[in-house]
């Protein structure tokens, strides 16, 4: 694949806020306003809302129109998703590709946004897996410095940056429906760091592709277009699971599907984000969280090693449904220094 170069932003630029999945700004407007305030005050950018940004229940056609309009407008220099959701698989495949090919610009989002980012990837437009308005910019209390640094790389800086492990992490949420939580600080826990599994210490370079495990599952089961097997020979696969907290057997089957499709034996490496292990309807204690993450790690290793014995598998990275968060380049060069246990990515 040949990917276009994205133009970096400068202070004062306009950025679009869109809701390609669930229109979270329509349900929690105070969180939306906080995210817009952070864009203005922390990053000196001007957010621009679109007709379906706050329209809960907006049709696929309305959301498609917002995406096309945001990319087509020359005054918009980046596009930021408000949040994720669960239905992009139903309409992203129907988008025309010319507005996005002819007007490439940075797109920020994760979770259900895996579908739109896969669409951009197939059209040679890089994106950033992370940096949703509600979860990163509108973090209660204050933005994480770790998160802000990687967002600045993605927005304003160009070149190779090292990915680091945050010393702490959070996956225990605060209720957006409770306005009093806006100024409350989240509870952070000690991060055990990256977990490597590699039988070959050779350094690896490849193009990043991936997303949310549940979205990858839908791409596979609904026969949505994805990179070709030849493309996968140059890909470093990244994946992470959502707040649905899928079981280890489910995650195993998704990776087994990747193996049966011939993907796992071709990719150059696999990077896995720390699995979210707490949600309001699944309030795991510390022991349960540790066990859940361990079971998922083991399931992934078991599935992958059935198809590929050599590639490095690095788990517990700070991207996806976690805080603080690396805004991970998608469709960009990633460099894995296996002997040194270091990872770099082109922003």
Same domain, 100 and 186: no
- Do 120 and 254 sit in the same domain of this protein? no
Q: What's the pLDDT score for residue 201?
A: 80
Q: What's the CATH number where 89 sits?
A: 3.40.50.10740
Chosen domain end from 111, 135, 160: 160
Asked if residue 129 and residue 232 are part of one domain, the reply reads no
Burial of 167 (0-12, 13-18, 19+ CB in 10 A): exposed
CATH of the domain at 180: 3.50.30.60
Note the pLDDT of residue 39.
98
* Same-domain pairing of 52 and 37: yes
- DSSP at 134: I
Please name the residues in contact with 331: beta carbons below 8 A apart, sequence gap of 6 or more: 1, 3, 120, 121, 124, 125, 126, 127, 207, 208, 209
234 and 98 together in one domain: no
In the prediction, which pLDDT does 1 show? 82
The residue among 137, 160, 183 that closes a domain is: 160
Chain-centroid distance of CA 278 in Å reads 18
Secondary structure class of 28 (helix, strand, coil): coil
pLDDT attached to residue 230: 98
- Is 5 part of a structural domain of the chain? no
pLDDT, residue 200, reads 78
Q: Which of 144, 160, 176 is the last residue of a domain?
A: 160
Both tokens of 324, joined, read: 């603080």
Residues 179, 86 share a domain:
no
Domain identity same for 155 and 89: yes
- Residue 8 covered by a domain: no
**Statement to judge: residues 172 and 91 lie in one domain:** no
Instruction: Report how far residue 22's alpha carbon sits from residue 39's, in angstroms, rounded to the nearest whole number.
Output: 21
Asked if 277 and 178 sit in the same domain, the reply is yes
Q: Are residues 133 and 213 in the same domain?
A: no
Contact 39, 14 (CB under 8 A): no
In a domain, 342, yes or no: yes
What pLDDT score does 199 carry? 80
One domain for residues 66 and 18: yes
- How many other C-beta atoms lie within 10 A of the C-beta of residue 104? 19
Reading the chain (347 residues) residue by residue, the pLDDT tens digits are 899 999 999 999 999 999 999 999 999 999 999 999 999 999 999 999 999 999 999 999 999 999 999 999 999 999 999 999 999 999 999 999 999 999 999 999 999 999 999 999 999 999 999 999 999 999 999 999 999 999 999 999 999 999 999 999 999 999 999 999 999 999 999 999 999 999 878 899 999 999 999 999 999 999 999 999 999 999 999 999 999 999 999 999 999 999 999 999 999 999 999 999 999 999 999 999 999 999 999 999 999 999 999 999 999 999 999 999 999 999 999 999 999 999 999 99
For the chain, the domain total comes to 2
Whether residue 6 is contained in a domain is answered as no
Query: What pLDDT is recorded for position 74?
Result: 98
What pLDDT sits at residue 87? 98
In a domain, 9, yes or no: no
Residue 134 sits in the same domain as residue 215: no
Are 11 and 44 in contact by the 8 Å Cβ rule? The answer is: yes
Q: Would 334 be classed as within a structural domain?
A: yes
Q: Which structural domain range is residue 255 located in? A: 163-346
């Amino acid at each position: 694949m040949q990917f276009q170069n994205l133009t970096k932003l400068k202070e004062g630029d306009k950025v679009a806020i869109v809701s390609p999945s669930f229109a979270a700004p329509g349900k929690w407007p105070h969180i939306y306003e906080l995210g817009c305030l952070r864009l203005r005050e922390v990053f000196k950018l001007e957010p621009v809302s679109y007709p379906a940004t706050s329209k809960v229940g907006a049709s696929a056609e309305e959301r498609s129109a917002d995406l096309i309009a945001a990319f087509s407008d020359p005054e918009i220099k980046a596009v930021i998703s408000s949040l994720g959701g669960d239905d992009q698989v139903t309409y992203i495949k129907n988008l025309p590709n010319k507005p996005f090919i002819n007007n490439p610009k940075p797109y920020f989002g994760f979770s259900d946004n895996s579908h739109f980012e896969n669409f951009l990837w197939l059209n040679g437009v890089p994106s950033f897996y992370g940096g949703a308005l509600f979860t990163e910019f509108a973090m209660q209390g204050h933005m994480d410095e770790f998160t802000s640094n990687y967002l600045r790389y993605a927005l304003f800086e160009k070149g190779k940056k090292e990915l680091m492990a945050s010393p702490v992490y959070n996956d225990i949420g605060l209720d957006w429906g409770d306005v009093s939580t806006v100024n409350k600080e989240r509870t952070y826990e000690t991060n055990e760091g990256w977990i490597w599994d590699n039988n070959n210490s050779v350094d690896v370079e490849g193009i990043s592709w991936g997303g949310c495990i549940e979205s990858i599952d839908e791409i596979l089961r609904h026969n949505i277009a994805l990179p070709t097997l030849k493309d996968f020979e140059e890909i470093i696969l990244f994946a992470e699971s959502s707040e649905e907290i899928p079981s280890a057997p489910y995650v195993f089957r998704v990776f087994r599907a990747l193996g049966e499709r011939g993907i796992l034996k071709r990719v150059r490496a696999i990077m896995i984000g720390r699995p979210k292990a707490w949600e309001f309807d699944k309030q795991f204690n510390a022991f349960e969280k540790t066990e859940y993450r361990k079971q998922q790690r083991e399931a992934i290793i078991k599935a992958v090693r059935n198809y590929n014995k050599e590639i490095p598998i690095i788990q517990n990275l700070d991207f996806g449904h976690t805080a603080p968060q690396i805004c991970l380049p998608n469709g960009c060069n990633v460099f894995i220094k296996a002997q040194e246990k270091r990872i770099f990515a082109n922003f």
